[in-house]
Amino acid sequence: MHDPMLTVSVPDEAARIALGALPGDVRVLVWDGVGEIPPHGHEIEFFVGRFNTRPRRETLESLPRLQVVQLVSAGVEPWLSVVPKGVLLCNGRGVHGGSTAELAVGGMIAMLRGIVPFAMAQRAHRWEQRFTEGLDGRRVLVIGAGDIGTRIATAVRVFGANVTLVARRSRPGVRDVSELRQLLPSQDVVALAVPHTDDTHHLVDAEFLAALRDDALVVNVSRGGVVDTEALVTEVLDQRIRAFLDVTDPEPLPAGHPLWDAPNVLITPHVGTIRGWEERAYRLVREQILRLRDKEELVNIVGERY
């Protein structure tokens, strides 16, 4: 007999609490997909997963009613090989976009305005007044025109930057990625806001970096693997370009890695997400659950060419 309940699985008790009260025909299980399947587990239709803790594909394939795997992260790379065929994979687009874009712009401003040298001078009790750069009039290339990329573009335009958006498909206001190499030599800042896929792995390689003008700034808030770290190290050690990195490859960055002491580099430890993200994330999850229950179209569906 078909169970009329919609069964949902969330990864931990904190997630269940963040989800809040749901209609009586929605059953919530606490299970992250690892270990023994709990009672009613084979009834799961909606599975909420963590970015860094994944079940085996065989486990998800053993759930006969599974329709949706919902993540609370924008990135889905580790899940692409886990989600069974025919099951929708949805991400957390919009949950972390504002905070990650904010960090990207903050990193740009910190580098252009010389905040780190000023902070070092403060610690030494030195009044070192000097003019710095700013975003006004800078040419900023944003690679990735999704939630994060468009927010970065919107923000830096407020400060007078001339922005070019690039994505894998052109559309009004967005250039095609095939034009990238022609655009690079004229840019002052390049911000990376793309997922890490086969197409974007080491997108920023030695050739890419060599095409940039001297003293250009590379901002990476996407994934470490989008940048060829060895090529980046060569350029920053030569002090030809600058970088703000919230993500690195490898990650965490080992204590002895040359990027730590490289001049003109500012590193934050993958902190694009801010406090309170759980409330935003599980508001989205709740909406998705109700859409599935009411047979409405879900949002944030990840396509084949994510």
Question: Which residue of the set 50, 196, 223, 280 is catalytic?
Answer: 223
Instruction: Quote the CA–CA distance of 294 and 277 in Å, as a whole number.
Output: 26
Question: Residue 250 in contact with residue 227, Cβ under 8 Å?
Answer: no
| 264 DSSP assignment | T
What is the distance between the alpha carbons of residues 23 and 20, in angstroms, rounded to a whole number? 10
User: CA dihedral in degrees (170, 171, 174, 177; nearest 10)?
Assistant: -10
Sheet holding 68-71, edge to edge: 26-30, 6-10, 44-49, 68-71, 88-90
Report how far residue 218's alpha carbon sits from residue 230's, in angstroms, rounded to the nearest whole number. 15
Could you confirm whether 58 is annotated as catalytic?
Answer: no
Q: Which of 251, 279, 287, 296 is catalytic?
A: 251
Q: Report the b/e string of 67-81 with b at 16+ CB within 10 A.
A: ebbbbbbbbbebbee
Element (H, E) at 26: strand 26-30
Structure tokens at 135: 């975003």
SS3 state of residue 125: coil
- Partners of residue 49 on adjacent β-strands: 71
Q: Is 96 a catalytic residue?
A: no
Name the active-site residue from 40, 270, 286, 291: 270
Q: Is 43 a catalytic residue?
A: no
In the chain the first and final C-alpha atoms are separated, in Å, by 37
Structural contact between residues 193 and 144, judged by C-beta atoms closer than 8 angstroms = yes
Report how far residue 120's alpha carbon sits from residue 224's, in angstroms, rounded to the nearest whole number. Answer: 27
Burial string for 212-236 (b: 16+ CB within 10 Å, else e) reads beeebbbbbbbbbbbbbbebbbbbb
Q: Which residues are catalytic?
A: 223, 251, 270
